[in-house]
Structure 1
Amino acid sequence: MMKRQDIVVLLKLASLEDSAKDIGDESTPLGLAAGEHPYSVRGLEAALGISKTEIGASLKRSIAAGLAIKDRKTDRPKPSRRHLREFIVHGVKFVFPAKPGAMQRGLPTAFAAPVLRESLHSAGNLICVWPYAHAKQMGQSVDPLFKSVPEACEKDRRLYAYLALIDAIRVGNQRESKLAADLLVHRLG
């Protein structure tokens, strides 16, 4: 059975792959200490704030569900982008629903995040945020897929964009969800 953090781990792997393609160097760290390999369980723990044990279990669940595969050359897990896109677009809203809650200080997500801010304007003044004490924005709280998401997103802008788009799918109406899903499909390739 999939857990919320599985999506976070898979999107971090996608972010690492995307960065490697852009830069041409698979060892480029995003929010990691020097010497840590970004694809290692320890590297993912440092980048995401998810324990090594939970990272390992997450990867096993994702492989069993068909949302990740083992790379033939490196033998490390990587997201099955097609299956991940299908699950996010058609299932995440139902499996991991979200509703805006109380006003709180936090990191902007969904339509208030940089990835969607210019594409879609909310009818109201309230934005959605992930609760985060170090942020300056006030808005309606939305529970992130995992508690360490705000910190992880401060280190990795691609991961931030992916997770904010997922939140737009989770909390948006049909038109907003479709726009976010289209952007996510495009970004996940």
Structure 2
Amino acid sequence: MKSQDIVVLLKLVSMQEQEGLVGPGDPHGRFQGDDPYSVRSLESLLGISKTEINASIKRSLSSGLAIKDRDSGRANPNRRNLHNFIVHGLKFVFPANVGAMSRGVPTAFAAPMLKGLLISGGEYIYIWPFAAGQDMGQSVEPLFKSVPEAVLKDDRLYEYLALVDAIRLGNQREAWLAEERLSER
């Protein structure tokens, strides 16, 4: 497993959920033109190379974090296994390293959609370093280098990755709250 495998799987979950919200004939749908699940499309949405996305999907299939759809042949995240891995194993396999103060995109409970769910005792927020970011905080290395840019294109992916960071960074109470929120989604 590599950390970008989680990013790819969460993007697939996000896309499936958005697909359910936007009907196939809806002219306002996000996914016009190419197949949104193609490796090329995922490359442009995530900033991860086609080769790496293909390898990531193969690793996810072999580990049981994804299953192949019988009809379409595409990989679908195995939501139960993915949830269990994120909640119980991710922080040990891909621990969060907190760095120096930096400018970037807020993560964990500082992310806009999670702000206010938990009152932090510290005065600094966690951010993913990103040159175009507007917020200052303690830097946290994202699961993949393109995450800060990718989450600005997809609010649902942003929420999922912020929750993942809350689990990776948080104490027991924060991790529990993030786990509950992730279970609801």
TM-score between the two structures when normalised by the length of structure 2: 0.95
Alignment-mate amino acid for residue 20 of structure 1:
E
Contact 1:50 1:148 in 2 (8 A): yes
Does the aligned pair in 2 maintain the 1:106–1:133 contact within 8 Å?
yes
Partner residue in 2 for 1:4: 3
Deviation (angstroms), 1:141: 0.2
In the alignment, the residues of structure 1 paired with residue 178 and residue 113 of structure 2 have an alpha-carbon distance, to the nearest angstrom, of 9
Matches within 5 A, 1:11-160: 11-25=10-24, 28-29=29-30, 35-160=33-158
2:14 maps to a residue whose letter is S
Aligned mates of 1:83, 1:140 — CA distance in 2: 31
Describe the superposition over 1:88-139 as per-residue Cα deviations: whole angstroms up to 9, x where unpaired: 0000011000032100000000010123212111112100000000011000
Q: Compute the TM-score of the two structures, normalised by the length of structure 1.
A: 0.93
Shift of 1:22: 1.3
How far the C-alpha of 1:26 sits from its partner, in A, is: 9.6
Output the amino acid matched with 2:9. Answer: L
Amino-acid identity (%):
62
Q: Distance in 2 between matches of 1:180 and 1:99?
A: 18
Q: Which amino acid aligns with 2:24?
A: D
SS at match of 1:155: coil
Aligned Cα root-mean-square deviation (Å): 1.4
Helix, strand or coil at the partner of 1:129: strand
Aligned mates of 1:150, 1:36 — CA distance in 2: 24
**Shift of the alpha carbon at 1:12?**
0.3
Q: Secondary structure at the match of 2:114?
A: helix
> SS of 1:126's equivalent?
coil
| Greater shift in the superposed pair: 35-44 or 172-181 | 35-44
CA drift of 1:24 comes to 2.7
The CA deviation at 1:35 is 2.4
Partner secondary structure for residue 138 of structure 1: strand
- How far the C-alpha of 1:29 sits from its partner, in A, is 3.3
Contact 1:20 1:26 in 2 (8 A): no
Structure 1 contact 4–145 (Cα < 8 Å) conserved: yes
**Distance between the aligned counterparts of 1:80 and 1:115, measured in 2?**
25
Task: Give the whole-Å Cα distance in 1 for the aligned partners of 2:77 and 2:24.
Answer: 18
**Which SS does the other structure have where 1:102 is aligned?**
strand
